A and B are shown apart, each in its own frame.
Chain A
Amino acid sequence: MPVTRLADTGVADDVVAQACAGDESAREAIYAALAPATLTLIRRMVGQRPLCEDIFQDTMMALYERLPQFRREAPLGAWLRQIAINRCLAYLRSPWQRARMCLEAPGLSVAPDAQLVTPAFRSDAIDVERALATLTPTARAVVWMYEVEGYSHEEIAREFGRSVSFSKSQLARAHARMRAWLDPQENRPSCTMI
C-alpha cells in the first residue's frame, strides 16, 4: 500500500464531535483512521522504532487533549500532521540528538539504519527506503516534508527556524546522495580511451 498522506486523511465531523464529548468508540475510530499514517510519518522522520512509538504516543495524546480546539478548517489529519511534525522536529532539535548527530559525522555512514527499512514487497521500494536511511535525520526530515508531505521551502525553513537556503541545500544534497545510492553507476569515474 503506497504512502497515504496524513494531511489528506479526514474523519467525519460527527465522529469528531462525539469524540470531543468523550465518546470512547468515536475516539477509537479516530485512532484507527489516523494512527497508521501518523506512525508512518514519524518513522520516516525519526527512524528508530522505540523512539517513534514514544513520539507517536505523545502526538496522539496531544490530539485528544486539543481536539476541542479543532476548528474543522482542514482535514483532521492535516491538523494532526502539524502536531506530529512539531514533535519530531522538537526531538531532532534536542541537545541529546544534536550531540548524537555530531558524533555520527554525516557522509561517513554508508550502511543504512536497518530499523528505518519497512519490510516491503517490491525491491525498488527497499532500495528507496535504504537510500532514505543513509541520510542524516535532518536531511531525511526535509526530503520527506518537501517530497511527500508537500511543504514548501519557506514552510520547512519556518518549521526548522532556519533560512530558505538551508532547506534548499539540504534537499539538493539529499537528492544527490540518494541518487548515488540508487544508481552507483552514475558516480563511477568514466574511462577515456587515449
Chain B
Amino acid sequence: MHDDLEQRRTLAQLLRGLPQETAPPYGFREFQRRARRRAAGVRGVSVGQLLAASVLVALGIVAVSLRLAGPREHPLPVVSQSATADAPARAAATAPDTGSDALERLLASLPREPAVARVGERAAVIGLEDRIAQVDDLLSAARSSHAQPARVQKLQEERTRLVGALLQVRYAETLADASR
C-alpha cells in the first residue's frame, strides 16, 4: 500500500517535470490572420445556410403545389362499369406518377455530386436512394401481380415523397458545395 502510494507520487512528480512547449505554435500575427479567416468562414457558412434554408422552403412550396395540382392536371383514367375486374388495377399501375416524374426531372437537373461529400449528407442520400429502390421493387411486383389500385397508389405516393426528400438533400448539398 505504502509502495503503491509512493509510486503514484513519483509518477505525478515525473508528469509535472515533463518539458513544456517553449513557444506558441505560431506568432500573434499569424493567430490574428487565422482568427480573421475563421470569422470570415463562419460568416460565409451562415450566409450559405440562410440561402440553403430559403431554397428548401421554396422547394417545399413547389413540392406541395405539384402534389395539389397533380391530380387536376393529370386525372386518373376513368374506368367504365363494363370493364373487366382487373382493369382498375392496370389503370392505376400504368398511370403516370406525375409528381414523382417532375421531381426526378428537377433532381436530374442538379449538378453532379461533389467529389468531396460530408458523411452525414452522403449517408442521407444513400439511405434515400436505397428506399426509393425498395419502393420501385415493390411497385414492379404490385404491377405485375395486378395488386389493388389503392396499394399501387400508396406506393407511388411514397415514391414521390422519397424523391422529394432526395431532391431537398441533394439541393442543399449542391448549395453547401458552392459556398465552400
Tell whether, in the assembled complex, residue B18 and residue A57 are in contact, meaning their CB atoms are under 8 Å apart.
no
Known: A57-B34, A175-B8. A132 touches B21 (CB 8 A): no
A128 touches B31 (CB 8 A): no
Min distance, Cβ A116 to any Cβ of chain B, angstroms: 11
* B21 adjacent to A39 (CB under 8 Å): yes
Asked if B28 and A179 make an inter-chain contact with CB atoms under 8 angstroms apart, the answer reads no
Selecting from A101-109, A140-148, A158-166, the interface stretch reads: A140-148
What is the bound-complex CA distance between A4 and B24, given in angstroms? 14
Q: Specify which chain A residues have a CB less than 8 angstroms from the CB of B16 in the assembled complex.
A: 2-3, 147-148
How many Å lie between the Cα of A57 and that of B11 in the bound state? 31
Q: Which residues of A contact B11 (CB under 8 A)?
A: 128, 147, 175, 178-179, 182
A1 to B38, CA, bound (A): 33
**Per-residue B-contact encoding for A116-134, CB less than 8 Å = 1, 0 else:** 0010110011001100100
Q: Does B23 contact A (CB under 8 A)?
A: yes
Check if B20 sits within 8 Å of A56, measured CB to CB: no
B19 within 8 A of A: yes
Closest chain A CB from B16 CB (angstroms): 6
**With A124-B14, A148-B15: A32-B21 Cβ-Cβ less than 8 Å:** no
CB distance from A33 to the nearest CB of B (A): 10
Contact A31 B31 (CB under 8 A): yes
- What band does the interface of chain A fall in when counting residues whose beta carbon is under 8 Å from B? 35 or more
Nearest chain B CB to A40 CB, angstrom units: 5
CB–CB A128/B15 < 8 A: yes
Task: Give the complex CA separation of A182 and B16 in angstroms.
Answer: 16
B65 contacts A by Cβ under 8 Å: no
Contacts of A43 in B (CB 8 A): 21
Determine whether the beta carbon of B8 is less than 8 Å from that of A39. no
Measured between C-beta atoms, what is the minimum distance from B40 to chain A in Å?
A: 13
Bound: A118/B40 CA distance, A: 33
Do residues B20 and A60 form an inter-chain contact, with CB atoms below 8 A? Answer: no
Which residues from chain B contact A147 at a C-beta distance below 8 Å?
11-12, 15-16
B75 within 8 A of A: no
Task: Report Cα–Cα, A129/B12, bound state, in Å.
Answer: 12
Any chain B CB within 8 A of the CB of A112?
no
Closest to A27 in B: B28
CB distance from B43 to the nearest CB of A (A): 14
A-B contact sample (19 more), CB < 8 A, given A3-B19, A53-B25, A182-B11? A1-B20, A3-B18, A4-B20, A27-B28, A32-B28, A35-B25, A36-B22, A37-B20, A57-B31, A57-B38, A61-B35, A118-B19, A125-B17, A125-B18, A129-B18, A132-B15, A143-B15, A144-B15, A175-B8
3 residue pairs, one from A and one from B, having the closest CB atoms: A35-B24, A147-B12, A28-B28
